[in-house]
A and B are shown apart, each in its own frame.
Chain A
Amino acid sequence: DIQLTQSPFTLSASVGDRVTITCRASQSISKWLAWYQQRPGKAPKLLIYKASSLEGGVPSRFSGGGSGTEFTLTITSLQPDDFTTYYCQQYHTSPWTFGQGTKVEVK
């Protein structure tokens, strides 16, 4: 299985900050990576697919980058609703796998 490792596990930030979450794959997955946001008690929500394509309706302060084995999710100007957990997911090779999650918390 392809392993995805997110860093950091927890990120402390303030409203208005720019933050970046990294997702590293155990082997090359080209651009077949998605990012999700999950609020407590809620289903995940797709933010980014194909590494850098923004899902419709998602604010432009979210952006994705990278290819191969290293990917990033950047949130420019953090908003109060953004303090929650984020997951990456690879869909290069089945079984599709997720990173362990990164929690963005208030500093």
Chain B
Amino acid sequence: QVQLQESGPGLVKPAETLSLTCTVSGYSIMSGYNWAWIRQPPGKGLEWIGSVYLGSTLYHPYLKSRLTISVATSKNQVSLKLASVTAADTAVYYCARQPDTDYYMDVWGNGTTVFVSS
């Protein structure tokens, strides 16, 4: 059974880079599927951030200039880096699996909370 687990620092200072990792177990990310990041600000709705399919990425246009999503196949991990963060980036960050050609999210991690504050 595939499981996803997000990890990373819970507190990031403004203007710094937020770095998160999603560790996938029970499935090899080399075998396919897209791997997505979604976030949810406190008390608000869900926002897709970006996705990666092996070496190919798709980013939300308004985050594209600050965002890097990559895969480490040897570690079976997906990573997210978001540069120049502000308080508006405070959120619960989820990683999720997306089928190859249907971009809904069928398996989700538990999420990790990130606060941006000095």
Contacts and interface: CB of A to CB of B under 8 A. Distances in A.
Interface stretch (A11-19, A73-81, A92-100): A92-100
B104 A87 contact: no
B45 A43 contact: no
Q: Provide the main secondary structure of the chain B interface.
A: loop
Interface residues of B, number: 18
A49 B104 contact: yes
A75 B91 CA distance: 30
Q: Provide the main secondary structure of the chain A interface.
A: loop
Contact of B103 (A46, A96, A100): A96
B61 A95 contact: yes
A34 B105 CA distance: 8
Interface residues of A, number: 23
A45 B97 CA distance: 12
Contacts of B60: 95
Given A50-B102, A91-B102, A101 B45 contact: yes
B109 to A, nearest CB: 6
B46 interface: yes
A43 B111 contact: yes
A98 B47 contact: yes
Interface of A: 32, 34, 36, 38, 42-46, 49-50, 55, 87, 89, 91, 94-101
